[in-house]
Chains A and B, each alone.
Chain A
Amino acid sequence: MIRYLTQRIVAFIPTLLGVSILIFSTIRLVPGDAIVAMLGTEAGMLTDTQRQSLEVYFGLDKPPLEQYFIWLGGVLRGDLGLSVRHGQPVIDVILARFPVTLQLAIMAVSIALMIGLPIGVLAAVKHNSMIDLFGRLFALLGLGMPSFLVGTLIIYVLSVYFKILPNSGDYVSLIEDPSRNISQMIFPAITLGFAFSASVMRTTRSAVLEVLTQDYIRTARSKGLSEAIVIQRHALRNALIPVVTIVGVEIGYLLGGTVITEEIFALPGVGRLLFNAISQRDYALVQGIALFIAFNFVLINLIADFIYIAIDPRISYAQET
């Protein structure tokens, strides 16, 4: 088991290195030179001497490979460069907004699991019943309704039928005013979690259906266990494995979806920060956020790997023998 975990952690490092190379070189593709990339339109006002001294200051006179290693060295020390628009280190700008996105993501995943798991299990156990039909309809809706659609609909319904505007007023943090914070966050979280809950439901349903046909379920039933125990102890635990995979993968979509959700509901999170950075051509910030989100995504998948082992002992045993 330790060996399996070490293997996963070792594989984690080259992936992150690859991601850093990909992001670094993509940002270098910006038309025009790196000074333009950093300063945007204001670069036009520079004199030649100013431009040269900036190039020396940022190390742009060095070969690309050396530039990459200098940048990587900075990243490892927690230095992601300077945001031109914010006049602050990129890492500080990101970390200031991260709690909002983290809370949004946690709430969205919780909502998705709270809705998706029970409906998925019920739909499979009561196969071809009304619940199953409802579940399948729900899965269809989830497939066809991306977050920007759900968000727009939610705001419409709230403002027309309940006369409230969820995105009015300034954002308050969870510590400042918990109840107000939750009331501000709940609808964005539903928006973000909706499609996710549908795919959790879909996966759970087909996984449970699959597991229920296995021999050990028949054995469990025939030795006289109650149906509840058969489902809980034997079916659910085995069905969870594909669900964990899907949760790991879908969190990637979720992290991308925060851009749209935070933009619709005007939440000051990392996603909206990325959107603004793109609109304002703040490339250092775009690069920093991309790296930050990718790091989180890879980390989440690593955690998903660990959870596998916890629920499926076969994986670690197979590695040891």
Chain B
Amino acid sequence: MLKKHKSTEVSLIRRLLRNRSGTLGLLLVVAYALIAFLGAVGVTPYPTLEQHVRDRLKPPSAQYTLGTDLFGRDIASRLMEGAANSLRVALLSVTISAALGTLLGTFSGYIGGLFDTLLMRIMDVFFALPALLLALVIVSVFGSGVTTTVIAIATVYTPIFARVVRGPVLSVKELDFITAARCLGMSDARILFRHVLPNTLAPLIVQISLALSWSLLTEAGLSFLGLGTQPPNPSWGVMLSESRGIAEMAPWLMIFPALAIMFGVLGFNLLGDGLRDVLDPRLRGHKS
């Protein structure tokens, strides 16, 4: 059983590597995760808050690979820790929303009836609000900062996960093998975990990748507005925002955070697209 499981995982990666956008996405995500890991454990060229007063606004050089900012802080080090900060927010919020959404979606689909109708109507209300608007309202209520950013992103994504999971649950629970399992006297819990939930995995994985991309974007956007990660802590959004006005003198202040955001967001997005092509047989061969 275990062996078979492993082999499907291997073939998933192999199939993903045959998909062009999937490969590119996987590469970017792995690179990003590595950089973020180094940033998180503090293996950066310089401490991120260390100010080199004599080396302010230095262009990229052998000493400072990506240059220094207005306070003489090393850009490369700050980008690395920024990657860690953004990824922490993204992972936390996506984990919360995926768990909560899966729970809601599974119960809603499995129990059905009035509970399902009611819950889905409530979820519809969340869809009627533009995502960033909902996030902003939450930030305004709980104040700016990292915790609020996590709550905001999780709130936006929980209904999306619930809807993504509910679909397959609805279609699977009517199938013969579920009836068979029930006839064999399996409990609801066992049926859910053994037979229903595994069938929601494919769309869930795709959605998780896309959600990570969106939450990186939202964290950067909120931080750019000064509502997310608070300076002097490094975040790509904060760094991009700080470059405004002085980028004319020191373009590296803007270019590197911009590239970091772009590749980070693209990575998860492409990975999500690639995973969808590989995991969703209905779409296979559909896209060129």
Contacts and interface: CB of A to CB of B under 8 A. Distances in A.
Contacts of A307: none
Place the interface of chain B in its size category: 35 or more
- Chain B CB within 10 Å — which of A27, A148, A155, A274 has the most? A148
A152 B138 contact: no
A43 to B, nearest CB: 16
Given A18-B128, A144-B263, A298-B128, A26 B137 contact: yes
A31 B126 CA distance: 22
Interface in B217-265: 217, 220-221, 224-227, 237, 240-241, 243-244, 247-248, 251, 254, 258, 261-263, 265
Interface stretch (A221-229, A249-257, A309-317): A249-257
Given A29-B141, A146-B220, A156-B248, A256 B130 contact: yes
Nearest to B269: A143
A141 B258 CA distance: 12
A240 B227 CA distance: 38
Given A19-B125, A26-B137, A260-B224, A148 B240 contact: yes
B59 to A, nearest CB: 15
A297 B130 contact: yes
A128 interface: yes
B248 A144 contact: no
A16 B240 CA distance: 37
Main SS class of interface, B: helix
Contacts of A96: none
A127 B288 contact: yes
B5 interface: no
Interface in A119-134: 127-128
Given A145-B262, A149-B258, A259-B136, A19 B128 contact: yes
B211 interface: no
B122 A294 contact: no
A103 interface: no
A232 interface: no
A209 interface: yes
Given A152-B243, A159-B248, A294 B141 contact: no
B284 to A, nearest CB: 14
Interface stretch (A66-74, A176-184, A276-284): A276-284
A130 B160 CA distance: 36
Contacts of B139: 278
Interface in A265-321: 274-275, 277-279, 281, 283, 286, 290, 293-294, 297-298, 301
A21 B237 CA distance: 32
Contacts, number: 132
A236 to B, nearest CB: 19
A143 B224 contact: no
A140 interface: yes
Interface in B27-61: none
Given A23-B137, A290-B129, A260 B225 contact: yes
A148 B238 CA distance: 11
Nearest to B21: A140
A32 to B, nearest CB: 11
Given A253-B132, A263-B225, A146 B265 contact: yes
Given A143-B266, A259-B225, A278-B227, 6 more contacts: A14-B121, A22-B125, A148-B241, A152-B243, A155-B244, A278-B140
Interface of A: 14-16, 18-19, 21-23, 26-27, 29-31, 127-128, 140-141, 143-146, 148-149, 152-153, 155-156, 159-160, 206, 209-210, 252-253, 255-257, 259-260, 263-264, 274-275, 277-279, 281, 283, 286, 290, 293-294, 297-298, 301
17 contacts: A15-B124, A19-B129, A22-B125, A22-B126, A140-B270, A143-B269, A144-B265, A152-B244, A155-B244, A156-B248, A160-B247, A274-B133, A278-B140, A290-B129, A290-B133, A290-B136, A293-B133
Nearest 4 CB-CB pairings of A with B? A256-B132, A18-B125, A252-B130, A144-B266
